[in-house]
Amino acid sequence: MQSTESRPQSQTQAALPVRAALVPEAGADFELRQLSLDTDLQPEEVLVRVVATGICQTDLHARGGDMGTSFPAVFGHEGAGVVERVGSAVDGINPGDHVVMSYTYCGTCGPCRAGRHSYCVHHVDLNFGGARPDGSNALYEGETEIHGHFFGQSSFSTHAIASQRNLVVVDRELDLEQLAPLGCGMQTGAGAVLNSLRVPAGASIAVFGTGGVGLAAVMAAAAAGASTIVAVDLVPERLELALELGATNVIDVRGGDLLGKLRELVPEGLDYIVEVTGRPEMLNIAVDALAPLGTAGLVGGSPLGTTAPIQMNTLLGGRSVMGIAQGDSIPQVFLPRLIELQRRGRFPFERLVRFYEFDEINEAIADMQSGKTIKPVLRMPPLPHDPTTED
């Protein structure tokens, strides 16, 4: 719903013109529009000039209205850029710092106090609510309020307002354009293997779905020393790439009987399965394909209300299903680990990336949906008035 309230005077005084990909209503294409961003920062907020941003399937679910975000809205949640200004309470982040943006959280609820930030009690509201925690927004088109702060950033814009909680400061020598996908997709897939399931050396694992998240899981399983890594998909080119990235076996689901083929490869059952597709029938197969005491990690998001049938007696063999959000990652800890693995050649996520200019956003999405591109990353145009463009 559009706000009919007038813009506060402070926003008029502190308005920064930005170019953003606006979705006017659920299911519509992205439209590049000139908006204004209120840069009167709250104490814990940070103004970031966006250099690049990945496109994630979650952005498309949200665009379709599946995540409960109101419209008109600006999405994007895999941003990377340069800090321009910080709020009065921000500590450890300074203008000029290079940062990767990730999900946000409240920092005060039980899971947050326990260090399980991705399971924040307020996760849905803070990341999908389309507003700040206090209900306000910083994006406007004329006098019309635009729903932003998606994942605490809305990085489909030349500037974004984030908070110190969802920023990871990185070395200025690193390529921000390459690092953009780390903030969600890469940390989710890799974290599911390394943090959530803690796959040990010698284990067997299958990954259902070899898009960006799934291939991150494949690479992480290889880095962990898993002895059997089965990649499952219906796009032959992705399965070929999975083999290059560490999979020991691949299964093309177009051939049918996925469960039978998994049992043929690993007769005793798999120790771990990462389910990325979000399709109910795939979760059912995952549980059936587990070894006793095995675990299926559900990573893929589905439309709200989706249910999956599971053979209940199968769980009595000590098998379990684990729901996984953001790969159980604390971004400030885990992203530097992934960057180091990449430096050593053990997590070559750059092989998944294809770059597009910002005004090619709809083309990039079409290529992702067709399977032509695994991980599209949008490059933002430099802004002539921006004093940090030479960083």
* Cα gap 216→334, rounded to integer Å: 13
> The whole model's pTM is what?
0.91
Amino acid at 65: G
In a domain, 385, yes or no: no
* Cα gap 33→373, rounded to integer Å: 25
Q: Which residues of 118-146 are buried (b: 16+ CB within 10 A; e: fewer)?
A: bbbebbeebbbbbbbeeeebbbbbeeebb
| 272 and 360 fall within a common domain | no
Give me the pLDDT at residue 383, please: 62
* Cα gap 273→193, rounded to integer Å: 9
CA distance readout (Å), 169 to 48, 143, 315, 350:
12, 34, 42, 19
In a domain, 342, yes or no: no
CA distance readout (Å), 303 to 66, 126, 158, 249, 256:
5, 18, 29, 30, 25
In a domain, 283, yes or no: yes
CA distance readout (Å), 349 to 71, 83, 187:
33, 24, 11
Domain span at residue 284 reads 189-326
| 49 and 174 fall within a common domain | yes
| 126 and 237 fall within a common domain | no
* Cα gap 58→185, rounded to integer Å: 9
| 158 and 226 fall within a common domain | no
In a domain, 336, yes or no: no
| 210 and 107 fall within a common domain | no
| 322 and 359 fall within a common domain | no
Give me the pLDDT at residue 4, please: 37
| 24 and 143 fall within a common domain | yes
| 71 and 100 fall within a common domain | yes
| 46 and 95 fall within a common domain | yes
| 248 and 164 fall within a common domain | no
* Cα gap 36→141, rounded to integer Å: 6
Q: What is the CATH number of the domain that holds 71?
A: 3.90.180.10
CA distance readout (Å), 358 to 79, 80, 158, 179, 371:
13, 14, 9, 17, 20
In a domain, 343, yes or no: no
Give me the pLDDT at residue 386, please: 45
pLDDT tens, position by position, for the chain (391 residues)? 334 344 544 444 579 999 999 999 999 999 999 999 999 999 999 999 999 999 999 999 999 998 889 999 999 999 999 999 999 999 999 999 999 999 999 999 999 999 999 999 999 999 999 999 999 999 999 999 999 999 999 999 999 999 999 999 999 999 999 999 999 999 999 999 999 999 999 999 999 999 999 999 999 999 999 999 999 999 999 999 999 999 999 999 998 999 999 999 999 999 999 999 999 999 999 999 999 999 999 998 777 788 888 889 999 999 999 999 999 999 999 999 999 999 999 999 999 999 999 999 999 999 999 989 999 999 999 765 444 444 4
Give me the pLDDT at residue 272, please: 98
In a domain, 271, yes or no: yes
Token pair belonging to 182: 């780390």
Please state the domain count of the chain: 2
Give me the pLDDT at residue 391, please: 43
In a domain, 111, yes or no: yes
**Cβ within 8 Å of residue 357, ≥6 positions away:** 378, 379, 381
| 115 and 215 fall within a common domain | no
The backbone torsions φ and ψ at residue 90, rounded to the nearest 5 degrees and listed phi first, read: -75, 130
| 80 and 104 fall within a common domain | yes
CB 78 within 8 Å of CB 180: yes
Q: What is the CATH number of the domain that holds 223?
A: 3.40.50.720
Give, for 23, the enclosing helix (H) or strand (E).
Answer: strand 15-23
Residue 85 in 3-state DSSP?
strand
In a domain, 151, yes or no: yes
Per-residue DSSP letters for 168-188? EEE-TTS-HHHHGGGGTHHHH
Give me the pLDDT at residue 304, please: 75
Check the CA dihedral 27-31-36-42 and report its sign: positive
Give me the pLDDT at residue 380, please: 97
